Amino acid sequence: ETGVTQTPRHLVMGMTNKKSLKCEQHLGHNAMYWYKQSAKKPLELMFVYNFKEQTENNSVPSRFSPECPNSSHLFLHLHTLQPEDSALYLCASSPGTGLYTGELFFGEGSRLTVL
Amino acid sequence: TQLLEQSPQFLSIQEGENLTVYCNSSSVFSSLQWYRQEPGEGPVLLVTVVTGGEVKKLKRLTFQFGDARKDSSLHITAAQPGDTGLYLCAGAWPQGGSEKLVFGKGTKLTVNP
């Protein structure tokens, strides 16, 4: 596989469920990101990891919990979400060690629906 | 807070027409990127512009960065159905020894055959 792969592509969960989104990049990049894409709003940065270390948490509620076990894998653990959390969650990677250096490579996204 | 305004929000045109979409801000950016996001996919980078007044061409797409590095435009000549998608601009500005990236809401383009 190449590029950035996200699973699952679609997820429906109740407000009391616990689920996880997974992202894997095969590009040898050092930085990985979680973004939230909602209708009528700009892409919102949630978390940034550089070399497995979290370098930014953009005031994200604690019901979203990221995990980066190595520089190729990124998870987003979901717990007691709200209906307004329904959105497309995009994972991205970039080659640089800075917050943003050059191009972001995005996965196809995980479409989350919270009932 | 850095904001990027994109216009129009929606654009529906016929195949073969020309179009221009805009990305404006009151802030000066160190660089600006354009992405295209097709339905069911993640955004894909089209171009990065860095220098004020810079013009870049990618086949039928022409990108321009404003002289003051506060705005940008994307012009598509003879649009084709394959150009359909959400066009996002993203501006980068220096912050704390690194750079921060902010996205606009996007222009949703539909090209009808």
* B101 contacts A45? CB cut-off 8 A: yes
Average model confidence (pLDDT) across chain B? 93
* B102 contacts A104? CB cut-off 8 A: no
CA end-to-end span of chain A? 33
* A42 contacts B45? CB cut-off 8 A: no
* B42 contacts A100? CB cut-off 8 A: no
How far lies A110's CA from each of A37, A40, A67, B8, in Å? Answer: 10, 18, 16, 27
Which residues lie below 8 Å from residue A35, measured CB to CB, with a gap of 6+?
A43, A44, A45, A46, A89, A90, A91, A92, A106
Residue among A7, A74, A100 with most chain B CBs within 10 A, to mutate: A100
Task: Identify any residues that bridge with B72 across adjacent strands, giving them in sequence order.
Answer: B23, B65
> What pLDDT score was predicted for residue B93?
79
**How do residues A29-85 score in pLDDT, each as one tens digit?**
989 999 999 988 999 999 999 887 887 778 899 999 999 999 899 999 999 999 999
The residue with greater pLDDT, B1 or B58, is B58
* Neighboring chain B residues of A45 at a CB cutoff of 8 Å: 101
Looking at the partner chain, which of B42, B88, B95 has a beta carbon nearest the beta carbon of A107?
Answer: B42
Q: Which amino acid does the sequence have at B10?
A: F
How far lies A18's CA from each of A15, A25, A28, A37, in Å? Answer: 9, 24, 30, 21
Nearest 5 degrees, angle CA A83-CA B35-CA B81?
95
* A99 contacts B43? CB cut-off 8 A: no
* Neighboring chain A residues of B29 at a CB cutoff of 8 Å: none
Query: Do A67 and A74 touch, CB atoms closer than 8 A?
Result: yes
pLDDT at residue B58 tops 60: yes
> What pLDDT score was predicted for residue A15?
87
> What pLDDT score was predicted for residue A50?
85
For chain A, say whether B100 makes contact (Cβ under 8 Å): yes
CA B89 to chain centre: 4
pLDDT at residue A8 tops 90: yes
> What pLDDT score was predicted for residue B1?
59
> What pLDDT score was predicted for residue B12?
98
> What pLDDT score was predicted for residue B23?
97
Kindly identify which residue of chain A lies nearest to residue B43, measuring between CA atoms: A106
Task: Identify any residues that bridge with A18 across adjacent strands, giving them in sequence order.
Answer: A79
The residue with greater pLDDT, B61 or A30, is B61
* A42 contacts B104? CB cut-off 8 A: yes
The residue with greater pLDDT, B103 or B100, is B103
Confidence band, pLDDT 50/70/90 cuts, at residue A2: low
How far lies B47's CA from each of A4, A33, A60, A79, B23, in Å? Answer: 19, 20, 30, 37, 14
